[in-house]
Amino acid sequence: MLLKQLPVEQRPREKLLQRGAHALSDAELLAIFLRTGVAGCHVIELAQQLLIEFGGIRQLIQASRKEFCRIHGLGEAKYVQLQASVELVNRFVQQKLQQQNVFQCPTDIRYYLSSRIRDLPHEVFFCLYLDNQHGLLGDEILFRGTIDSTQVHPREIVKRALHFNAAALVVAHNHPSGVAEPSQADERITQKIKQALELIDVRLLDHFIIGNGHITSLAERGCL
């Protein structure tokens, strides 16, 4: 069946206009991005095949240019468009954080942290520097480690907090293993950072552990 032969309410573009983007499946959203199918396969079928081939939206987005372009119906132009779309979303969330009180929308900060460091192959330690209204002053990867560890120095965090004139910090690090469960070492370094920041009257608001599809808050665990 051709796409134009589907009932209007089942066509992705029309469905989005009538019901909103949230009503669409992964395949339907991907079909809108792809725009056209290939010979013998309309665009929704192509989208479904791609999700099966790669294992989901996330894996498709993370695919290398070579992996992406080897699929019939895809190419460098679509690869560039997809990566640009992902970066636009990341920048949208970053600008949103810069324009509002960070903790008015916890989902945004979790998504932003996840998009920045979740998929890195090595462990990194990430800092968000906040003003006294919890507005975002700046952020950065402060430490980089191996596949399973990173060396975090509280004194360096203090220096950077003073550089940004921060009143509060949120810190995060990823677990390349995908497991977001904090280790005893994670809990110990959290306490050391908190104590070091207290000496300059800066609050540590949270320490997030970023895993594969899950984010753990040490503040919610009672570790702060």
Q: What is the pLDDT of residues 10-26, one digit of tens each?
A: 788 888 998 998 898 99
Complete edge-to-edge strand list for the sheet that includes strand 168-174: 136-144, 124-130, 168-174, 203-210, 215-217
Q: Is residue 84 part of a domain?
A: no
Amino acid letter for position 84 = A
Least confident piece of the model among 2-11, 120-129, 163-172: 2-11
Q: Is residue 91 part of a domain?
A: no
Segment (H or E) for 215: strand 215-217
Tally the domains of the chain.
2
127 with 189, same domain?
A: yes
118 with 57, same domain?
A: no
126 with 196, same domain?
A: yes
Q: What's 195's domain CATH number?
A: 3.40.140.10
Q: Is 206's pLDDT higher than 90?
A: yes
Quote the domain boundaries for residue 45: 3-74
CA distance 88 to 141: 20
Q: Is residue 124 part of a domain?
A: yes
Q: Is residue 130 part of a domain?
A: yes
Under the banding of pLDDT at 50, 70 and 90, the label for residue 34 is confident
CA distance 150 to 205: 21
Q: Is 59's pLDDT higher than 60?
A: yes
Q: Is 166's pLDDT higher than 80?
A: yes
Helix, strand, coil % (nearest 5) of the chain?
Answer: 50, 15, 35
67 with 23, same domain?
A: yes
Q: Is residue 25 part of a domain?
A: yes
